[in-house]
């Protein structure tokens, strides 16, 4: 198979990928250019941020967020990153993830903030899951949101960019549809504007599939963690991704249509009933809808009380 872009320029080169949903075959060089052009267009069209703004990319050490960090830096955006060390010991998951993020930061000379959950809370995500009674992903999301927002505020970043790709967004939308969770559906957008105390959140990779992010990493020799998070095992999002890959195979473009037609045709019609007003947490000052402590501070209190009970038992 030949690269179609090169062919249009009268050059013959071998394609490394065929994108059925765009009916496009591309060589290594043209794929890199196509990816970066499409990324810049998405940022511009959806008004995510301008070239002069200071962006904070949340990097997990996985292929998507590292591809995003690398590409934004290459395109000349003012970008730093933050990595949250989740304290997941199984398969050295957090250790390896952190190393991948640190290595890329050094390579592209971009500043990386590191936050260790264990240093702040005394425990990693698996333990916090048991202590809080929340699912691992729910407690992980809570803690990540808290620290990423804190770093964004302290560093005066205009917005937080995350590596959510089309497959992630399609799986989440499908899950929200299965339960007709209108509140969550309203909040599912490529750009979530700044709210009192919450930085603007953007998802510049919403037009790319996992496979496209992976290929971008491969052609730029970006080293990322290959392992899935051990706590993701059995989560329904993995099942939905598999299902949509099958749909995409028989009907290319389904994922893009499902997500973007929702954004243009349905989301604007949904009633935004959210009347919850944001207040400042009396303990940490971060925004919360609660009249009392924010969810993060409540989690901290819970950890403290369990630790105190343990110590007391040892003394008895």
Q: DSSP for 221-243?
A: T-----SPPGGGTT-HHHHHHHH
Q: 142: buried, middle or exposed (CB in 10 Å: 19+, 13-18, 0-12)?
A: middle
Q: Which helix (H) or strand (E) holds 120?
A: helix 117-121
Under rule CB under 6 A, residue 239 binds ligand SF4: no
Angle, vertex CA 40, rays to CA 22 and CA 158, nearest 5: 140
Residues 6+ apart with CB under 8 A from 237: 168, 171, 172, 175
Task: Report what 117 binds from Zn ion, ligand SF4, none; CB cut-off 5-8 Å by kind.
Answer: none
232, interface contact from ligand SF4, Zn ion, none, CB < 5-8 Å by kind: ligand SF4
Site mask, ligand SF4, residues 128-167, x = CB under 6 A? --------xx--xx--------------------------
Q: Are 124 and 94 in contact (CB under 8 A)?
A: yes
Does residue 142 belong to the site contacting Zn ion (CB under 5 A)? no
- The beta-strand segments (E) located in the chain are 17-19, 24-26, 54-58, 78-85, 112-116, 159-161, 191-192, 200-202, 279-280, 287-288
- 294 lies in the site for Zn ion, by CB under 5 A: yes
Q: Which two tokens stand for residue 7?
A: 């062919």
In 10 A of CB 287, how many CB atoms? 16
Q: Rule CB under 5 A: is residue 284 a binding residue for Zn ion?
A: yes
- Return the number of the residue (197 or 252) whose C-beta is nearest Zn ion: 197
Minimum separation from the CB atom of position 60 to ligand SF4 (A): 7
- Chosen residue from 232, 238, 239, 270 binding ligand SF4 by CB under 6 A: 232
Binding mask 274-293 for ligand SF4 (x = CB under 6 A): --------------------
19 near Zn ion (CB under 5 A): no
Binding test (CB under 6 A) with ligand SF4, winner from 231, 281, 294, 299 = 231
Contacted entry of ligand SF4, Zn ion, none for residue 136, CB cut-off 5 to 8 Å set by kind: ligand SF4
281 contact choice in ligand SF4, Zn ion, none (CB below 5 to 8 Å, kind-dependent): Zn ion
Interface residue list for ligand SF4 (CB under 6 A): 125, 136-137, 140-141, 229, 231-232
């Amino acid at each position: 198979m030949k690269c179609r872009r090169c062919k249009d320029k009268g050059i013959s080169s071998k394609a490394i990928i065929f994108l059925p949903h765009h009916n496009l075959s591309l060589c290594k060089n043209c794929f890199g250019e196509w990816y970066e052009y499409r990324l810049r267009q998405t940022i511009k069209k959806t008004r995510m941020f301008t070239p002069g703004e200071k962006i904070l990319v949340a990097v997990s050490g996985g292929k998507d967020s590292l591809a995003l960090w690398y590409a934004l830096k290459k395109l000349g955006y003012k970008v730093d990153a933050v990595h949250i060390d989740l304290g997941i010991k199984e398969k050295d998951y957090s250790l390896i993830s952190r190393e991948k993020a640190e290595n890329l930061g050094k390579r592209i000379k971009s500043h990386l903030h590191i936050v260790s959950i264990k240093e702040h809370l005394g425990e990693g995500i698996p333990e916090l899951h048991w202590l809080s009674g929340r699912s691992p992903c729910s407690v992980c999301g809570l803690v990540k949101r808290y620290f990423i927002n804190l770093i964004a505020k302290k560093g005066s970043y205009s917005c937080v960019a995350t590596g959510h790709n089309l497959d992630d967004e399609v799986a989440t939308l499908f899950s929200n549809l299965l339960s007709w969770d209108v509140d969550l559906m309203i909040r599912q957008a490529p750009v979530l504007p700044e709210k009192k105390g919450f930085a603007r959140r953007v998802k510049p990779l919403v037009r790319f599939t996992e496979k496209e992010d992976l290929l971008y990493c491969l052609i730029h020799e970006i080293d990322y963690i290959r392992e899935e998070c051990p706590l993701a095992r059995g989560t329904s999002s993995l099942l939905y991704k598999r299902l949509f890959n099958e749909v995409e195979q028989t009907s290319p473009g389904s994922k893009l249509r499902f997500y973007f037609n929702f954004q243009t045709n349905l989301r604007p019609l949904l009633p935004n009933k959210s009347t919850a007003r944001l207040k400042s947490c009396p303990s940490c000052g971060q925004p919360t809808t609660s009249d009392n402590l924010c969810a993060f501070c409540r989690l901290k209190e819970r950890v403290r009380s369990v630790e105190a009970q343990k110590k007391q038992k040892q003394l008895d």
